[in-house]
Structure 1
């Protein structure tokens, strides 16, 4: 008889978008997959059902720290685990990992957690961020202690968990190269940039920590000298305090300094016409999925020399790593492509090679499934 696996996420969209291939692979291996997230829409349910998963909804306050709401989340997850006779819980992102692990522990159910970056709490230097960091560390420490395995997406996050004594000395851990990318869904294309007319693009939630403002400031600086250069922003609005002022973005769009697309459903179609992918983030990423998609399509990448991002670039081979929160190095890196447009094609080919050798979703999912097989058998 097949075993039951519960995958828990904080965003329903991410289950099909980031974990769709993983869910399909688990089902192919004979597992019954339940996929749980808050605020499931009909579209989410349909997508997950088409994959062969059983969609489930539970309440989750994704941002705040409200003990009553958080207890409710744990209780609901506990009920889901018991009612569906779950054999293994697989949560990812902060709150699902913490609450999913606690619920599984109360039900004496095996858990493998996936740490997909440490987010705002570990990125910010404000008093609030530092306060949240201390609470989050304690919650991680308490919830992960009975996990069979904790998987990270980069070695820096694993090191931080060890140094902060979040993990016990006996804790089993591993590292995978992000969530992987489906190489067929993001097919390679050869892009030839014309002199002075290079198209730069950022794909990200419109939050300050992703470096959106730095990208806009770079566009303002370079458009003075290279009026034909294009700076494209793709992404959905985010709430304050992290959300970037949407009116400022629209003003730059109106004055033709940037081209703002908002949230789009067909990212691969947009990327295939772009030349250079930019992500000047100072957010604690796992490995940014947006960069992996750009690598697969065959784009040079400019990103920050920070955990999760530095794994995606071999400097001067497929792009550039720049210091976080620094405008001048970003301007210089973009200017390099404007002055050397012929390099776009060669660096793009190196990006695709990196995607094939290191970030292919099939390699990563096989690795995860082997761990699940080990724990359940």
Structure 2
């Protein structure tokens, strides 16, 4: 079959969906569609076709949005897919609209509801009207957490029997795995936050809590990884420079090899109040057997069982975040080892990427049996 995958960046497809693309290109004719300007080298050897198109990923200007929708429609029309899988809030909606015009089944993945869900005024009403109409016409909808699923059901945005829950984007359990530290040189106790540097990811809260922690504890380091966001929602370079000047604080910038980085840290922190699906950084950290600190936000709390593999704190609560980070430092070696094992077991039980790939394959098979040819 001709199968298309649509996302808001080549980076997303490369980092979060590469295994899915590999599984599908072995059986189907696959095309990928993403906004222009992304890096694509990791997908060059897969034997798929790549279709960059124009899209302002974070904008809301009506003419630019119409241009982006038409660009995606033309991109898909050239590829002539029989089924389209889509990801990310804006590209989900635009893929649904383009597929409706083309009369092609579209299967979106709701990885959080995105910032559009928080729009007010006329733009907010327009978004909700369009989302309600087009999600109801999806062939199937994947949800990454139960809160989003229940919200869509309450709003009447999905049809009964045409949706399912999946464990985020899944994680490669062979690549992300615990490592034995026998014989390793002693090193500082390390915290890591790895995320897009958006304010809503809790970057400022992490910086404030880690600065307070470093002021009273020695033998500890706090790392921050992630590229600067060009949009107004991001933290500024000046803020990062000020935090980086704190002894023990280190800003690593964008990191490609997360598996290697995770082997150098003890606790992964994500104090997000962003509308998440299931954060990839948390499930990768769980697979590596790390202690986790996150918020009680939907999606985040799915990866942390309080007292077993980490801590949940209220969003935007610097003091609670500081308390959790301090608690992680005071664990005995036996307590720490038990929590590390609990993280790995949770990843094996719930977040294996093969679970996700199998569900995608099953839904595609259902579409085939229902007459897609």
Q: Same fold (TM over 0.5)?
A: yes
Find the counterpart in structure 2 of residue 65 from structure 1.
60
Find the counterpart in structure 2 of residue 363 from structure 1.
355
Cα 1:324/1:191, change in 2 over 3 Å: farther
Q: What SS does the corresponding residue of 2:344 show, helix, strand or coil?
A: helix
Q: What SS does the corresponding residue of 2:14 show, helix, strand or coil?
A: helix
CA distance in 2 between counterparts of 1:237 and 1:76 reads 27
Shift of 1:51: 2.1
Cα 1:136/1:202, change in 2 over 3 Å: same
Q: CA RMSD in A?
A: 2.1
Cα 1:171/1:143, change in 2 over 3 Å: farther
Shift of 1:257: 4.3
Find the counterpart in structure 2 of residue 182 from structure 1.
172
- Does the CA contact (< 8 Å) of 1:219 and 1:257 recur in 2? no
Within the candidate set 214, 233, 246, 1:223 is matched to 214
Number of aligned residue pairs: 367
TM-score (norm 1): 0.91
User: Aligned runs of 1:239-254 on 2, under 5 Å?
Assistant: 239-254=230-245
Cα 1:5/1:239, change in 2 over 3 Å: same
CA distance in 1 between counterparts of 2:367 and 2:37 reads 29
| Stretch of structure 1 that moved more, 130-139 or 315-324 | 130-139
User: Aligned runs of 1:1-377 on 2, under 5 Å?
Assistant: 3-28=1-26, 30-41=27-38, 43-44=39-40, 46-122=41-117, 132-168=123-159, 170=160, 172-190=162-180, 197-342=188-333, 343-377=335-369
Q: What SS does the corresponding residue of 1:33 show, helix, strand or coil?
A: strand
Name structure 1 gaps, 5 residues minimum.
none
Q: What SS does the corresponding residue of 1:233 show, helix, strand or coil?
A: strand
Shift of 1:201: 0.5
Could you give the per-residue CA deviations for residues 245-274 of structure 1, whole angstroms, max 9, x where no partner exists?
Answer: 221221222231411111122221111010
| Stretch of structure 1 that moved more, 240-249 or 263-272 | 240-249
TM-score (norm 2): 0.92
Shift of 1:135: 3.2
